[in-house]
A = this chain, B = another copy of it.
Amino acid sequence: MKIGELASMAQCTVETVRYYEKEGLLPVPARTTANYRSYGKPHVERLCFIRNCRALDMTHEEIRTLLDLLDLPSEDCSGVNQLLDAHIGHVDVRIAELSQLKEKLVELRLACRTEKSVDQCGILRGLAVVETAPRDHRETHLG
């Protein structure tokens, strides 16, 4: 099959497929005489695998690790478990960060219940406060 069909089977764009190839996530496919990429069932499976991982917000690095494990079928799968646990950790960290953020935002929002002029707005005043919080090291890749 050609790239457009592959892409639609995995619900992504042809550009994304070509990008994954360039990144080494998808193997380089055979070409037709017209220089079109030619794919088969294994490519569909691998691309779906990648897209599912991306839908779970894994990085390409994480996906690459899983794909490497997938290519050694006889190994034991503890590496898979470790990676999944770590990634669940990434999600947990980000949820915690955002929950804290939301608290602060809601508190800030309360500083302006009645609409005043800009130079008296409690929100803008709150944002102008000098805080001493250096951005610390991130333990998640989720933005």
Contacts and interface: CB of A to CB of B under 8 A. Distances in A.
Given A55-B135, A118-B75, A131-B48, A98 B101 contact: no
A91 B84 contact: no
Contact of A92 (B70, B102, B109): B102
B88 A128 contact: no
A73 B119 contact: yes
Q: In the assembly, how many copies of this chain are there?
A: 2
A34 to B, nearest CB: 28
Chain A interface size, as a band, is 35 or more
Given A94-B98, A134-B11, A121 B49 contact: no
A112 B70 CA distance: 15
B112 A80 contact: yes
Interface of A: 9-12, 44-45, 48-49, 51-53, 55-57, 66, 69-70, 72-78, 80-81, 84-85, 87-88, 91-92, 94-95, 98-99, 101-102, 104-106, 108-109, 112, 115-121, 123-124, 127-135, 142-143
13 contacts: A44-B130, A48-B129, A49-B127, A49-B128, A51-B131, A66-B127, A70-B118, A72-B118, A73-B117, A76-B116, A77-B115, A78-B115, A81-B123
